[in-house]
Amino acid sequence: MHRIAEIEKLLDELEQHPADELEGQDLDFKQWSPEGFEKAVRTVVDWAICMANGGGGTVVFGVADRCVGRQQAILGVPPEVEIHRLQQAVYDRTDPKLTPSFEVLLVPEGTGRLLLMQVHPGIPPYTDTKGRGTIRVGKDCKPLTGTVRGKISAETGESDVTATAIQAVPQDLLSASALEVLRDAATSERAPAELLRLPDLELLSALGVLREGRLTVAGLLLAGRPNALRQHLPSYSWTHLRMTSGTEYQDRLDGHDALPVATSRLMDRILADNPIQTVPQGLFHFEYRTYPEDSLREILMNAFGHADYRLASPILVKQYPDRIEVSNPGGLIGGITPENILHHTPISRNPCLMDALVRLRLVNRSNLGIQRIYRALLIEGKEPPLIEDLGQAVKVSIRASDLSVSFRTFVAEEAKRGADLSVDHLLVLQHLLRHSEIDTQTASRMCQRAESDAREVLAEMDRRFGYLERGGTGRGTYWTLRPEVHARLAAPGHPERDRRLDWEALKTRVLSVLKQRAERGDEGLSNAEIRQMTHLDRNQVKRLMNELREEAPVSASGSGRGSKWLYMPEVES
């Protein structure tokens, strides 16, 4: 949730951006309804429900979310609106009962008063007293459909399929070989030795997958026989395809083995076609695979651990000549998206199974698995994974690429001097090897952090590590690689490039085009057209045009996507 001081800073951003651009999963701006108190109360109740189902957040009432400029956007809330009446209305009209808190923020614009509704996270689903509800997804409130309710049920553990007890004698379901593979895998991850020395049934009981003498589905997944898995969990299977094109495959293997056996067999098949690059360094020769094994193992464990075993769909591995795709049934849950997955609090669809895997050290409870996937790829100079939520499935793709010896050496040398680079640092360095500069907004989006946190990451890489140089001021601040750092990171023979954009040349070019269009009586240029002309990204164009507006008779006309930049010599003083 956002406090008053944070909102006050965001209100200043309205001079350059509509409120809609400042919104996120846990923040929304709403205009106070001019159609009477009752209509306004219904809006407040609806937004309390939406935010509570989405994990909580802040709603700022009294701000129009499509206008630019504080005077135009901040309309305020009528002074006669009483906070206690709103609190009572939300409580009376929600099921289960919601009790958000309200705060007043005084402003010089509009009625002089905004209301902040702070909605605390709880145990969803929440609806109004008629059973209607929505859930916050990104910047939207989506209907609380049956599918969504099912996801919420999974998040709260109410529908944990893996906790279901199987009505059969446990010994008849278990595979001795699967248990040994499980022990070997856990031993390699340094699981407690006293745990792994326990007899089979005691081990499964200690892991919480054997309860009151009955094996759970989680226990079956960890150590069951293939025929037992087919009988008691017919929706479960795994498939590996060696693809030759987008629609054709060379060979295929399907299985119903328990999770440790399945991951072992899949790793063997993948590694059979995972080329090794040998890198001589002094007296030693180091071998690196095209796809880092640590990254592959984490991706597979995530796929098996987070799959929705109610869906009759396999854990699917497609191995193309240039990439590997791993998908599992069941979309992302609990407000996790591909855009926030790096740092989101971990949420499990299968708590019984995941708790056992955590005790075996095969997965991590602190959401470090995703970061390990990123790090294993990034330290070798490879692209980060592509994570896609396909609704009823999640797909993770990693591309085949050569090891960057210079980048890997750089990371190793920095570690020796005490600079343990995080995933954030590695993402920024990789970006700056491909682009001339980075700004706070780009770093925020790429590192999946708030802009304030991204700014700290960049400042640390400048002041503490000495990797970056800072340029510009205010919202126009950007960072570039220091020349000596670029020389260490770039591949041998890679020509030193101009790491700074020629801003003056770009401004001159844009201004010239605007003048020509004005002379012909044509309309001006949109931000998208300027991006196409200059090959800059969205934030760079904003900075470029703000600088140009201060230096030449240029101004923006219109709003949103229809706005245009115009050359207007009559505005010159």
CATH code of 344's domain: 3.30.565.60
Q: Are residues 220 and 245 in the same domain?
A: yes
Last residue of a domain, one of 91, 117, 144: 144
Question: Residue 319, exposed/middle/buried by CB under 10 A (0-12, 13-18, 19+)?
Answer: buried
Q: Are residues 203 and 262 in the same domain?
A: yes
pLDDT at 391 exceeding the cut of 80: no
Q: Are residues 485 and 510 in the same domain?
A: no
Question: What does pLDDT average to over the chain?
Answer: 88
Q: Which of 155, 207, 161, 211 is nearest to 186 (CA)?
A: 207
pLDDT at 496 exceeding the cut of 50: no
Q: Are residues 292 and 164 in the same domain?
A: yes
Query: Could you tell me if residue 483 is inside a domain?
Result: yes
pLDDT at 366 exceeding the cut of 80: no
Q: What is the mean pLDDT of residues 81-95?
A: 91
Question: Residue 451, exposed/middle/buried by CB under 10 A (0-12, 13-18, 19+)?
Answer: middle
Q: Are residues 138 and 255 in the same domain?
A: no
d(CA 181, CA 203): 14
Confidence of residue 282 (pLDDT cuts 50, 70, 90): low
Identify the pLDDT of residue 426. 96
d(CA 518, CA 511): 10
Identify the pLDDT of residue 184. 95
Tell me which residue has tokens 């002041």.
Answer: 463
Identify the pLDDT of residue 243. 93
Identify the pLDDT of residue 368. 72
CATH code of 56's domain: 3.30.950.30
Q: What is the mean pLDDT of residues 386-407?
A: 90
For residue 547, give every residue at least 6 positions away whose Cβ sits within 8 Å of its Cβ, in sequence order, or none: 476, 503, 507
Q: Are residues 140 and 33 in the same domain?
A: yes
Q: What is the mean pLDDT of residues 388-407?
A: 89
Tell which wins on pLDDT, 258 or 561.
258
Identify the pLDDT of residue 99. 86
Q: What is the mean pLDDT of residues 306-329?
A: 93
Helix-strand-coil percent breakdown of the chain, rounded to 5? 45, 20, 35
Query: Could you tell me if residue 214 is inside a domain?
Result: yes
Q: What is the mean pLDDT of residues 457-473?
A: 88
Domain membership of residue 129 as a residue range = 4-144
d(CA 301, CA 294): 11
pLDDT at 470 exceeding the cut of 50: yes
Identify the pLDDT of residue 332. 85
Number of domains in the chain: 4
Identify the pLDDT of residue 506. 83
Identify the pLDDT of residue 546. 87
Query: Could you tell me if residue 150 is inside a domain?
Result: no
Q: Are residues 188 and 325 in the same domain?
A: yes
d(CA 546, CA 146): 47
Beta strands in 10-123 (DSSP E): 27-30, 57-61, 94-95, 101-106, 113-119
Q: Are residues 268 and 345 in the same domain?
A: yes
Identify the pLDDT of residue 272. 87
Confidence of residue 495 (pLDDT cuts 50, 70, 90): very low
Q: Are residues 70 and 126 in the same domain?
A: yes
d(CA 129, CA 122): 17
Last residue of a domain, one of 455, 489, 523: 489
Identify the pLDDT of residue 360. 94
Report the share of the chain in percent with pLDDT over 70.
Answer: 91
Structure tokens at 41: 């109360």
For residue 75, give every residue at least 6 positions away whose Cβ sits within 8 Å of its Cβ, in sequence order, or none: 31, 32, 62, 63, 64, 109, 110, 111
Global pTM value: 0.66
Query: Could you tell me if residue 519 is inside a domain?
Result: yes
Q: Which of 344, 540, 560, 530 is nearest to 441 (CA)?
A: 540
Structure tokens at 300: 């597979």
Q: Are 316 and 182 in contact (CB under 8 A)?
A: no
Pairing type for strands 564-567 and 554-557 reads antiparallel
- Is the link from the previous residue into 292 a cis peptide, with omega within 30 of 0? no
d(CA 350, CA 333): 11
Q: Are 527 and 510 in contact (CB under 8 A)?
A: no
Question: Residue 79, exposed/middle/buried by CB under 10 A (0-12, 13-18, 19+)?
Answer: exposed
Confidence of residue 283 (pLDDT cuts 50, 70, 90): low
Confidence of residue 499 (pLDDT cuts 50, 70, 90): very low
Query: Could you tell me if residue 12 is inside a domain?
Result: yes
Instruction: Tell me the three-class secondary structure of 152-213, residue by residue.
Output: HHHHCCCCCHHHCECCCCHHHHECHHHHHHHHHHHHHCCCCHHHHCCCHHHHHHHCCCEECC
Query: Could you tell me if residue 533 is inside a domain?
Result: yes
Q: What is the mean pLDDT of residues 170-176?
A: 95
Q: CA angle, corner 121, sides to 115 and 126, nearest 5?
A: 90
d(CA 313, CA 463): 50
Beta strands in 347-506 (DSSP E): 386-389, 393-399, 438-439, 468-471, 478-481
CATH code of 425's domain: 1.10.10.10
DSSP helix/strand/coil, 221? helix
8-state DSSP, 272: T
pLDDT at 501 exceeding the cut of 60: no
Query: Could you tell me if residue 39 is inside a domain?
Result: yes
Q: Are residues 458 and 510 in the same domain?
A: no
Burial of 114-144, coded b for 16+ CB within 10 Å and e otherwise, reads bbbbbbeeeebbbbbeeeebbbbeeeebeeb
544-551 own/partner pairs: CB under 8 Å, 24+ apart: 544/503, 544/506, 544/507, 544/510, 545/510, 546/475, 546/476, 547/476, 547/503, 547/507, 548/507, 548/510, 548/511, 551/507
Identify the pLDDT of residue 315. 96
Burial of 553-568, coded b for 16+ CB within 10 Å and e otherwise, reads bbebeeeeeeebbbbe
Q: How far apart are the first and last CA of the chain?
A: 45
Query: Could you tell me if residue 556 is inside a domain?
Result: yes
Tell which wins on pLDDT, 360 or 334.
360
Beta strands in 270-345 (DSSP E): 276-281, 284-289, 315-319, 323-329
Last residue of a domain, one of 439, 466, 489: 489
d(CA 284, CA 280): 6
Q: Are 311 and 330 in contact (CB under 8 A)?
A: yes
Q: Are residues 539 and 482 in the same domain?
A: no
Among the listed ranges 62-66, 84-88, 366-370, 529-533, which one has the minimum average pLDDT value?
366-370
Confidence of residue 541 (pLDDT cuts 50, 70, 90): confident
62 vs 6, 28, 43, 259, 283, CA distance in Å? 16, 11, 12, 53, 69
Q: What is the mean pLDDT of residues 257-270?
A: 95
Q: Are residues 447 and 476 in the same domain?
A: yes
